[in-house]
Amino acid sequence: MGMDQSIIQRAIDGDERAMRQLWSQHAPHIDAVVRRLVGGDLDLAADIAQEVWIQIFRALPSYRGDAQFGTWAHRIAVNRTLNALRRSRRIAKVETDIEDDVAVEDFEAERSLLMTSITDAAAKLAPGARAVFMLHDVEGYTHEEIAAELGITPGGSKSQLFKARAKLRRLLSHLVDSPKPGNDREHAAPNC
């Protein structure tokens, strides 16, 4: 994409309009990546997205153009988000069993039985399981890459993915099984 290339060059030279142009072109995608990895916490996602852009602009001079800018920025967004989550102890120990989070998740499930998408459902997963699921099934990382990224073993990544998928199936079964969701059933308890 030649157009991106000249904007990038101007941005590296400190041209604010070029920076804004890059940002407005790529921010929706980058924000979506960050939100998917973070889950339901929009404030945290917004903070991290801001960090991601600072990092992108800082790293611009090292951008070689061998990958599309969007792909390169995406990679930074994933790495930066995982670092931030690790810092905020969200993935303090990915290996900790998902069952630890059950109390929180049941409350979450009660609050919104009608999940409209996999992303909503994924926000109900334990942070470690969500990270593995998003990286593997949504972003297309291999278990080896995920293991390196999260500091766990490929086996640990596989078992987290297995648990995440099983949990998602359970969460999403409401969408499939309930005949007609009426809003009056707001407080029905999930029967899992």
Residue 56 · residue 76 · CB < 8 Å:
yes
- Sequential DSSP letters for 145-159: HHHHHHTS-HHHHHH
What pLDDT band is residue 30 in, cutting at 50, 70 and 90?
Answer: very high
Average pLDDT, the chain: 76
Distance (Å) of CA 144 to CA 43, 138, 149, 151: 31, 16, 9, 10
Question: Given a cut of 50, is residue 99 above it in pLDDT?
Answer: no
Residue 187: DSSP 8-state: T
Spatial CB neighbours of 1, under 8 Å, sequence gap ≥ 6: 68, 69
Which of 11-15, 31-35, 173-177 has the weakest average pLDDT? 173-177
Spatial CB neighbours of 69, under 8 Å, sequence gap ≥ 6: 1, 4, 8, 22, 26, 63
Domains of the chain, CATH where assigned: 2-87 (1.10.1740.10), 98-185 (1.10.10.10)
pTM of structure: 0.54
Strand intervals (E) in the chain: none
Angle (deg, nearest 10), helices 143-150 and 154-177 = 110
The mean pLDDT value for 141-157 works out to 88
Rounded Cα–Cα distance for residues 68 and 52 (Å): 17
The H or E element that residue 118 is part of is helix 118-122
